Amino acid sequence: MHKGARRLSQVNSLHTASVKRYSESDDALTPNALAVRAAVWNWKQDSETHSTVRNKRALRIRGALQFLVGSIVATVLAWIGFLLWAGIVIGITATIFVLSMVSPTYSYSGIDKLFNLLGRGIGQLMSYVLLVPVYVLVMTPLGFVLRHKSSDRLGTRLMADNTTYWESTETRKTDYERQF
């Protein structure tokens, strides 16, 4: 069989397969376009498959890391003497680990979203609980002390006896060859 005839038969067999694969979405394409499309790489289908696999792998790794951190926390709690809390933490951690290994895209992703929402809420609460008192009790008194102290490091205070705020550059020695 001639090389061109063999290639034509391959294209025809691909055409038949492509008509079956793309008949729902590609009714407007010609048979030749369908044959070419079947012969080339279907990047959309492959990327969806690979992204799902990568997503599952990432969720499994995340679940394993959460298990590791939870185990460390439970060990510290048990070492301190809080055995009940250590048991609770290790139980929750083990459940999350098993779900992340068995069903990463369904059960574990739901629990992960729940914990992300809980963490975001706790972070917002802690920002108000911690940052507001630190600002009021530390930064405000520090600002008052520095303002009433006579130092003005940036030179922003207005002086009544100054006619100009120009700083002479004649008194500065600069070596342009060695700036730093």
- Single-letter amino acid, residue 167: E
pTM of the predicted structure, to 2 decimals: 0.46
Instruction: Note the maximum CA span of the chain.
Output: 104
pLDDT beyond 80 at 73 = yes
Q: If you count them, how many residues does the chain have?
A: 180
pLDDT (mean) for 72-87: 94
Reply yes or no on whether the pLDDT at 19 is more than 50.
Answer: no
Helix/strand/coil (H/E/C) assignment for every residue in 17-77: HHHHHHCCCCCCCCHHHHHHHHHCCCHHHHHHHHHHHHHHHHHHHHHHHHHHHHHHHHHHH
pLDDT at 10: 54
Query: Which tens digit of pLDDT belongs to each residue from 105-128?
Result: 888 888 888 888 999 999 999 999
- Other Cβ atoms less than 10 A from the Cβ of 21: the count is 16
Neighbours of 49 (CB within 10 A): 10
Q: Which residues contact 25 (CB under 8 A, 6 or more apart)?
A: none
CB 14 within 8 A of CB 39: yes
Q: At 90, is the pLDDT very low, low, confident or very high (cuts 50, 70, 90)?
A: very high
State pLDDT tens for residues 28-61: 667 677 666 666 666 566 555 555 666 888 888 8
